Amino acid sequence: MAPSKSPKAILFDIGGVCVLSPLEAISTYENKNNIPSDWINYAISRSAPNGSWQQLERGEIKMDKDFFRGFNADLRNEKLWKEFHESFRNSKKKLKDVANPTQLGDHVSLKAEAADSRPTDQDRGSQETSKPKDNSSTNQAKTPGRPSLSKLAKDTTIVDPVSLESEDVAQSSHDGSTSTNEKSKSSSSPSPPEATATLVSLPPLPEIDGESLFWSMMSHSRNPDPYVFPALLQLKKLAVNERPVIAALSNTVIFPPGHPYNRLDDPPESDPRGQFDIFVASADVGLRKPDPKIYQLAIEELDKLDKEKGGSGVKAEDCVFLDDIGENLKTAKGLGMKTIKVVPGKTWRAVKELEQATGLSLMDERTRRSKL
């Protein structure tokens, strides 16, 4: 059934949408090195808004020794390590329950969501590339048969290596609070030895090689998603007047000159960046999701392009936006865009929803038979 109103533009995130999520590489690294689950995402996210990762994605610093020094420091922040254990690990709260809603973005691990969303037997289909990876270190290598994405970056930019914005950041500051009388009573009586041990017994900070971790994330996120990327290629094949404008809105990093990831000698069909009419990259514009300003910038670019082609222009409500991060989608929805959540391991569902939104056929028949 054709939609009541076809969108004028489709905006794609890259990492976790068009290509595999680097969060999977983080999970593998933690498991391999016996690092507490979610610590790496927690350390990166709670360093916002001016942690080394966030500055790199805004293009404020270079990817050099100073960046990796700062990144390692963020991963070894003793204050955050203590907070992680006392507020999250010891209380067994979800990271979203300790998120600080006053900071911009980056507050919650999505690795748990990715694990919970691994495809079931029903979700797996006939495409071999849709099979979930295990956590062995051998799976960091590129799967044979997948198209190379070394053209992922034009010039020195790679698209959306990771976004860690929060799914839900609403948390009452009074959770777990006690009355004045209760506090007085508790302070007058000695704490049980077990409680004291919980507060003072803090395991040592895990040793993390930030540079090794970083490159494993970059390598993993250069593999195409087995469903969304083919749908993007199918869109691109359509005549311009038969499809919406295709745009990317992605948090990015800039690689050093001469880095192998900057090579542009791969075939165009394996380069996600080459499939878009407009590409808004955080490291190029100095803004990153979920800042509303970068969405507004993307809408302005779409509006300009549409008017140049004789159209009436593009507004937020004319756009469909796909992302794997809830906070990024929340901002887009607040501006008036239609949003589609891309769930790790079940990305074919996002393609199905995109088909419903556009009225276009974007799945190959074998996938359609196995999924629908």
pLDDT beyond 50 at 361: yes
Cα(266)–Cα(148) distance, rounded to whole angstroms? 7
* pLDDT tens track for 235-272: 999 999 899 999 999 999 999 998 988 866 566 666 77
User: From CA 42, how far away is CA 51, in angstroms rounded?
Assistant: 12
Tokens of 148: 């190379």
Residue type at position 139:
N
The model's pLDDT over 87-110, given as tens digits with 9 standing for 90+, comes to 765 555 454 444 333 233 333 333
pLDDT in tens, 37-62: 999 999 999 999 999 999 999 999 99
pLDDT in tens, 288-341: 999 999 999 999 999 999 999 999 999 999 999 999 999 999 999 999 999 999
**200-209 long-range Cβ contacts below 8 angstroms, 24+ apart:** 202/81, 202/82, 202/85, 203/85, 205/76, 205/78, 205/81, 206/33, 206/34, 206/35, 206/36, 206/39, 207/33, 208/33, 208/35, 208/40, 208/72, 208/75, 208/76, 209/72
Query: In this predicted structure, what is the pLDDT of residue 266?
Result: 61
For 113, other C-beta atoms within 10 Å of its C-beta total 18
pLDDT tens digits, 202-233: 899 999 999 999 999 999 999 999 999 999 99
Rounded Cα–Cα distance for residues 53 and 215 (Å): 13
* pLDDT surpasses 50 at 155: no
Task: Please tell me the pTM assigned to this model.
Answer: 0.72
Quick one: average pLDDT of 168-195? Answer: 44
* pLDDT attached to residue 90: 57
